[in-house]
Each structure stands twice: as structure tokens, then as C-alpha cells.
Amino acid sequence: MALVSPTPSVYLAAYGCLTAFGNASATYAALCNGERALTLQPALGNRGGDAVPLALCRGRALDETAPPNWLPYVQELVTTLPAGDWGSPRRPVFVTSSNFGVGSLYAYRQTRERVHLDYGTPSSCVDWLRRELGWGENVSTFSHACVSAHLGFLQATRALHAGLADEALVFSFDFLSPFVAGGFNALKILNSEFPAPYENRASGSIGLGDGAAYAVLTRERSELQITAQALHNEMHHFTANQADGAGFAACIQQIMPAVGGRRLWAKGHGTGTLEAGRLEVAALEQAFPAAPLVSWKGSLGHTLGSCGAVELAIAAECLKGEYIPGTVGSHAPGFSATVAFDPLPGRAFDGVVCTSNAFGGAHAALLLSHE
């Protein structure tokens, strides 16, 4: 089942992100320096648990509070948004997340304190956030695991090209909680090892990170454009990918006609798992054999539903900057010779393919390039 962008392009009028390193510029600089934000921390916060690689925003504790302790971080990020009446009829907001305030729901289950319920579901969480951030009523919520942000980009693009908006704000967030870290720890893919995306090693593992980001999309010309977007859902299994990687390829192929003569690099999903990593690398290598491939989740951790937006903001920094950070935390040999472990010279390229992949064979890709 595939969805193709109904129009060839949309412009990136503004962007920003927040990770454990700070804003987009600080994150870009830290990645260029090869720094790893992930540190080993108890998966269950103050309740202990296995030490696992987590990258929390500076000064934030993993444990749940009411209201959630990540609100000030979101508020700080939002101060960098272009001023305006976000959430008004012509300036819609598309909020995306994978977990929203699910940690609050778990906190309620643990404590029976009803105050946590105000943030625990996607609708209650987004409604609370909308009020706290002063946005109007024109706020839509989308979620599809780790391709959530891409879903927001595509919906915003459609609204713009349908004439339903002058500008659209895609806002994505996923802050970790004991519930989320503990859940991934139970799945055995979050363990005591640091992730090494695309590295050919004996066992795979991921790290998790806090992440929030925004992208303001418009039809007005701007320095950077999202030239093409694609979503593809395999509908094969409720957690697993098709074993032959056909779903990865089917998604990427949709954006290939928009590439033209651009010299590309690829920012992959690259969480650090082996099976999905190999499928992803093979599909990208087949589609773009000359494009070096990087992942930043070995440093930032997987920021889950926000990863597409967080990494879009960093990719935008790369297109403006001198270097492209390599695959921090990984070492040769990789799954393919296309995997770039060290920083790349930014001026050698004029576009980037950004991909994200999610549980259940959901895939997303976009092409970000200079106008």
C-alpha cells in the first residue's frame, strides 16, 4: 500500500530540533565531532533496572512527573518557531509522536494519582500541549510509530497543495519514560551495548533518545525544499519486515524520479538492529549506489516517532554546513562499502535522501535538497 506525494515539492521555511546535545546547531556540531550523547542509565529511572544507553535532554530525569518534566524543553524549542498564529485556520499544526504521554499513563497505573491521566493519551497530551503553547484549534494529530514525523510532513504538504493552508507546522516529539525504556529493554533490543548502526557485528542493539523537532512547510520558495516524499506500508506482519527487503525498496523507488542529476548522500534510519539494518542498507545501495550512507542514532539514540523530524533538521544543517557527520558509534566493517563512518565534505553533495522505518513494515523516504 503506497502513498506518493501529490505534488513534486514543498519548501522548508524553518526548522529546529532538540536532542540531548541541545538545538539543531549544537547537535550538528557534536555529531561532526563524533560525540556520543548516549550514556548507560537505569532503564526504569529511579526504580533501577538494567543499565541501557539513553540520551536524555540535559538536566531531565527519566521519571514521570505531573505535568511531564519535558514541557520546559518543548517550550524552549517553540520559542525558536517563526512567530504567528499557529493552529489558526490558515496555519495548521500537525503534531506527530510515537509515544505521546504514554509514560504518564504508566505513572497513573503505578501510583493511582489521577493527575497523570491529563497527559496519558495522545488526545489529552496534544490538547494539553496545544493550550500550553498557545496554539489555536487547527491542530491534527498523527502517529505511526517511527515514521510518524514523515506522516506529518506528507499531510502538511497535502494541505498546502490543496490550498487549505498558507504555512503548515509539523511538530514532532518523543520524550523517554521508564515505560518506553523498560519496554524496549524487555524486547531485548535495548540492552547494555551501545548501538553501532550498520556495523557488521555479532549482535544488534539500539539506544533511545529524547527528541523534539519542527518543520515549517510552505509553497513559497525558500533555500531548502523537500522535493519528494513517499510512504509505504508492507501490510505483511504486525511487527516484522518482509524478509527480502522489498518494502524498503518499494518506498525508496518512489522518490527516485525526483533525483535528477543531484549528487546525493543518504541519512538512513539505522537504529543498530542487524536484520532491519541489512535490509535498509541493501535497498539504499541498490537505489543510490554512489550515495554515502550515515545514521546518527549511534550518538543521539533512536528518538522514535520524532526521529524523522529531528534528523530532517540536522540534515538541513548539513546542507548549509561544511561537513556531514558520519555514522557515530560505528566502525568498519559495515554492511556495505557505502556506509560512511567518518564525516563527509558537505560541498560534494547537493541533496540528501532521508529515510525512516517503523515496526510492522512501515517505510518513509524524502528528498531534501537546495532549491
Partner 1 sequence: MPDPLISRLKRLIVEALKLEDVSPNDIPDNEPLIGAGLNLDSIDALELVVQLEKEFGIKISNSEESRTALASIEKLAAFIRQRADPARLPH
Per CB under 8 A, residues contacting partner 1 are 186-189, 191-193, 202-205, 237-240, 273-274
Closest contact distance (angstroms) between CB of 122 and partner 1 is 23
Closest distance between partner 1 and the C-beta of residue 184, in Å?
11
Amino acid at the residue 255: I
At position 33, the amino acid (one-letter code) is N
CB-nearer residue toward partner 1: 162 or 187? 187
Q: Which is nearer to partner 1, 204 or 308 (CB)?
A: 204
Please state the closest distance from residue 351 (CB atom) to partner 1, in A: 34
CB-nearer residue toward partner 1: 186 or 348:
186
CB of 198 to partner 1, least distance (A): 16
Closer residue to partner 1 in complex, CB, 162/240: 240
Per-residue cell: 257: 524520479
CB of 110 or CB of 203, closer to partner 1? 203
Rounded to a whole number of angstroms, the minimum distance from the CB of residue 193 to partner 1 is: 7
- Closest by CA position to 301, among listed 198, 205, 213, 170: 205
Q: Which is nearer to partner 1, 101 or 272 (CB)?
A: 272
Q: How many residues does the chain have?
A: 371
- Kindly state the smallest distance separating residue 276's Cβ from partner 1, in Å: 11
Q: Tell me whether strands 10-19 and 139-142 are parallel, antiparallel or unpaired.
A: unpaired
Tell me: cis bond preceding 67? Omega within 30 of 0 counts.
yes
Cis omega (within 30 of 0) on the bond before 333? Answer: yes
∠ CA 280-282-285, rounded to 5°: 105
| Minimum distance of partner 1 from residue 21's CB (angstroms) | 27
Of 104 and 271, nearer to partner 1 (C-beta) is: 271
Give yes or no for a contact between 16 and 236, defined as CB atoms under 8 angstroms apart.
no
CB of 233: closest distance to partner 1 in angstroms? 18
Q: Least separation, in Å, of the C-beta of 187 and partner 1?
A: 6
Toward partner 1, which CB reaches closer, 79 or 239?
Answer: 239
d(CA 305, CA 352): 20
Contact 255, 153 (CB under 8 A): no
Amino acid at 51: A
Closest CB to partner 1 among residues 90, 236: 236
* C-beta of 50 vs 76, nearer to partner 1: 50
Q: Which three cell numbers stand for residue 333?
A: 566493517
Q: Minimal distance in Å, beta carbon 97 to partner 1?
A: 23
Record the cell numbers describing residue 305, joined without a space: 516517532
Nearest to 206 by CA among 294, 298, 277: 298
| Beta-carbon count within 10 A of 275 CB | 12
Furthest C-alpha separation in the chain: 59
Measured between alpha carbons, how far is residue 321 from residues 32, 344, 345 in Å? 10, 11, 9
Nearest to 157 by CA among 99, 89, 227: 227
Specify the DSSP element, H or E, that contains 42: strand 39-42
Backbone angles phi, psi at 249, to 5 degrees: -65, -40
The C-alpha cell 557505502 sits at: 338
